[in-house]
Structure 1
Amino acid sequence: MNTHRLLTAIALAGGLALGSYWYSSGERWSVHAEASTAATADRIPLYYRDPAGAPRWSAGPKKDHRGEDYLPVYEDDQAAPAPVTPKQQAGSSRKILYYRNPMGLPDTSPAPKKDPMGMNYVPVYEGDDVDDGMVKLSPGKIQRTGVRSEPVERRPIRVTVKAPGTIQLDERRVSVIAMRAESFVQKVADVTTGTRVKAGQPLMEIYSSSVASAAAEYLSTITSRTTGGVEAYGRGSRQRLMNLDVPEPVIAEMERTRTAPVTVRWSAPRDGIVLERNAIEGMRANPGDVLFRIADISMVWALIDVAERDLGSVAVGQPVAIRARSFPGRTFSGKIAVIYPQVNRDTRTARVRIELTNPDAVLLPDMYVDAEIDTADPAPVLAVPEDSVLDTGTRQSVLVDKGEGRIEPREVKLGRRGGGYIEVRDGLAAGEAVVTSANFLIDAESNLKAALKGFSGGGGSQPTRADHAGTGEHK
């Protein structure tokens, strides 16, 4: 069970252990060879094995294909004393607790020994395995692995929500021209779909018997010299013309000339673009038929589809930068006006409306745009670089640099992310330093350290020789 639990930690730390070993193997190799020769001069080898560790053996001395001598294996090879290295000499004043496998495998020994490849087990001194939750790194290892740290500071988190959308007309700036009584189109101006028109510009002339009757009645009342209720009756006749949607300039002209026109001229109610032209000379228009549809595009809407996960960050009034794909390099500025209270069940997005000024009329309906909503909070918060966080999905932690090669893993609670930084809500204080590079290697080493401790001291005691008999693995 111990071996199975440690596979993950060993796999992550294998590379680190290999690097640590091979970095100094050149210096140790000659020392090992000399010590081994002196220690085994009076013993007879049982057989010889391949110097590269391949599963090849020989009964007598032999060379491999590279010209290297096969290594002798003696009867008591596992109990052979390990050579004294400069590192051991420097640390001889400290007590050796046990020896661990040089390749990082979960195998320890209470006495010096070699692994199947002839490598000496690495001594673990008293104080090296202090259970304080920290990882200790030598200056050389810090330099080789490129460990860097950065202080924790307070800074504003810039969270930018990006979303696609389209340009749509402002519903409040669209007008239609429709007849309220049966009419006939007598003449249509030189206006087509897509034409830009000004308010008051003539569009067509129509004849309507209902309009002509109301106009004659109104003129008779304002020209009559009788005094009994003429003003009240005149106001009613004028209101009838207004109910038939006769343009105000036409009514004013009738009052000035005291003449009822045969045809009535209809003009554009606003500046804009003709989106629809259904009027044809000589046609009959029934009540409700739309003859012209005109939209003012000096102000348009950008309807943006914001992902459901980002809805908690957006609010009405936030500034938005709109970039049209038709005009790269140009930015249109606006603010969120409405967040629609519905989420699309298929796309899991909610619609957000941004109002944009369009003075040069380059933004057209159904044009694709990209929006960047600035949700930054001006208040600074405690933040760390994104690269410093180790996130397993259920737990987030950082490695705190305590100085002198001491690294402390610490669990944290995170908040918003943006601009390469993550808000830390709990677990750190301002001024502490966190590791921003090589943190995965350090995390792997800490896992290996914990694994070796649990393996060697699983029952609260140091490993014995019986634990390594036969296969060399802890039973």
Structure 2
Amino acid sequence: MSARLWKSALLSGLSIALGLVGGYWYATSRTEGVSGAPTALAPTMQDGRKVLYWYDPMYPQQKFDKPGKSPFMEMELIPQYADAAAETAAIRIDPSLTQNLGLRLAAVTRGPLANSLNVVGVLAFNEREVAVVQARADGFVERVYARAPGDVLATNAPLVDLLIPSWAAAQEEFLALKHSDDAGLLAAARQRLRLLGMPTALINQVERSGKARAVITLNSPIAGVVQQLEVRTGMAVAAGTTLVRINGLNSVWLSLAVPEAEAGAIAQGQAVEARLPAFPGEVLAGTLDAILPETNQDSRTLRMRVELPNADGRLRPGMTAQVRLNRSTDQNVLWLPSEAIIRTGRRALVMVAEEGGRYRPVEIRLGPESADRTVVTQGLTEGQQVVASGQFLLDSEASLKGLIATATERPAATAAPVLHEAEAQVMAIDNAGVTLAHGPFRTLGMPGMTMTFRLADPALMVGIKTSDKVRVAVRQTDSGLVIERLDKLGGQP
């Protein structure tokens, strides 16, 4: 080979090598820095198709201007092509495949806000119907009749025989004055017996018989159940000692626990229907008697009370009941089948069906729920069709395609965002944010782990480096946790 030909071949080889190196450098420069948040997304070409941006299906709201690995899930980013722009707001399913996928549609309807709330109730004693039998003077228990807690008594049932010496002496004085002609003195003696606590019926009996009674029998003043029996034969009792406590059964209370979120639509006096397992097929009607002022801190419920008549005594405290609180207003609202709603924890979505087998995710705002239906306050209109079965499959497909749900207008924030704090150690710092090995966020119920967080402001990282121990404060957003405050712990250089 001549020197001239050899030089030509050498120059051609160098040109090819430089081209390969330049191409590799160009590709590398396009891939590096993927995780950085792009400031401008310029269309590029890939496989002959124009690419608008790249995205992670798990975080479709974050767009990248270069291909590569996702900083969130360590998976390859997916391109969004310009020729698919018409489909960026919806996904399309062949109508012939709808039945195979199990998709079922339901209409958004308008109707009155007439609904009911079903809760569980428990029967309890009516605490207004209570009688307490006490010793009116110092004495001794001569006899206790065969009674025990839980016994059902009739009115005037005998309970206890008491020997009261002070009453016997006062009765003898009264009988002695009875034979005198001094009416005023006799009236004063009778008044003295009353002041000693002697019942009027006993005074009249002594006056008629002419004999003093040192032993008296205490009877039940009402019909009911013996709740407390604190007396035994031979006991000495002082004036004011409670001997027997009796609870009447002419009526009972139905105690309800209503979620605080539902309490605003309930008013005292509204109709109540109760069904007891003990009496199948029978409905007991009543009205809401009282809404107690205190909320249970553990269950976040309000206690409410219904008074039910119980003349025949068949309603026993401790029985359970299924209770319906009927609520009705003249307000017309939009109703949606509850099964169509996709709840993400921070917002609610539905898949709206459009013409041509297209389905679009839409964010909605919800109102009260009743009878498998939920009120929609924003995001939908009457007559729209939504997916009531199979919507989770469509939602997954929408995420894979990077579709973002149409958001409803949110009210302006009136308070500072809630921050959740924990201690952590900085593991890595890059354009995507900061990777922390953090302890538990107790206010979130989130255990300790290592994960990458986005920064609300890059200036938060000034003065902080890898391996530093920090105090981190984050807030919840629809796209994940965002760091609002990052403070280096004391004692570190």
User: What TM-score comes out, normalization by structure 2 length?
Assistant: 0.57
Q: How does 1:280-319 map to 2 (within 5 A)?
A: 280-319=232-271
Which protein is bigger by CA-based radius of gyration? 1
Paired AA for residue 57 in structure 2: L
Q: Which has the higher helix share?
A: 1
Determine the C-alpha separation between the residues in 1 that align with 2:144 and 2:260: 50
Q: How does 1:30-429 map to 2 (within 5 A)?
A: 106=78, 129-130=85-86, 133-155=89-111, 156=113, 158-163=115-120, 165=122, 167-219=123-175, 224-226=180-182, 229-230=184-185, 234=187, 237-320=189-272, 334-365=286-317, 367=318, 369=320, 371-374=322-325, 376-379=327-330, 381-429=333-381
For structure 2, the residue ranges without an aligned partner over 5 or more in a row are 1-33, 35-52, 61-76, 405-493
Question: Percent identity of the aligned residues?
Answer: 30
8 A contact 2:108–2:386 mirrored in 1? yes
**Alpha-carbon distance, 1:237 to partner:** 4.2
Determine the C-alpha separation between the residues in 1 that align with 2:358 and 2:80: 24
Determine the C-alpha separation between the residues in 2 that align with 1:311 and 1:173: 28
Q: In structure 1, what is the equivalent of residue 383 of structure 2?
A: 431
Q: Deviations over 1:145-193 (max 9, x none)?
A: 343322222344535343465x433222222222121112334444444
Distance 1:223 1:378, change over 3 A: farther
Higher mean displacement: 373-382 or 204-213 = 373-382
**Alpha-carbon distance, 1:423 to partner:** 0.3
Paired AA for residue 149 in structure 1: L
Paired AA for residue 366 in structure 2: L
Determine the C-alpha separation between the residues in 2 that align with 1:292 and 1:109: 86
Instruction: State the superposition RMSD in angstroms.
Output: 3.9
For structure 1, the residue ranges without an aligned partner over 5 or more in a row are 10-104, 111-123, 453-475
Q: Which has the higher strand share?
A: 2
Determine the C-alpha separation between the residues in 2 that align with 1:196 and 1:278: 17
Match of 2:156, SS state, is coil
Determine the C-alpha separation between the residues in 1 that align with 2:323 and 2:262: 12
Higher mean displacement: 310-319 or 426-435 = 310-319
How many residue pairs match? The answer is 337
**Alpha-carbon distance, 1:249 to partner:** 2.7
Paired AA for residue 211 in structure 1: W
Determine the C-alpha separation between the residues in 2 that align with 1:451 and 1:196: 70
The structure 2 residue matched to 1:5, chosen from 43, 51, 56, is: 56
**Greater RCO, CA 8 A, separation 6+:** 1
Q: Deviations over 1:75-119 (max 9, x none)?
A: xxxxxxxxxxxxxxxxxxxxxxxxxxxxxx946899xxxxxxxxx
Distance 1:131 1:258, change over 3 A: same
Determine the C-alpha separation between the residues in 2 that align with 1:364 and 1:211: 40
8 A contact 2:135–2:237 mirrored in 1? yes
Determine the C-alpha separation between the residues in 2 that align with 1:268 and 1:4: 81
Distance 1:203 1:441, change over 3 A: closer
Determine the C-alpha separation between the residues in 2 that align with 1:442 and 1:185: 81
Determine the C-alpha separation between the residues in 2 that align with 1:294 and 1:109: 81
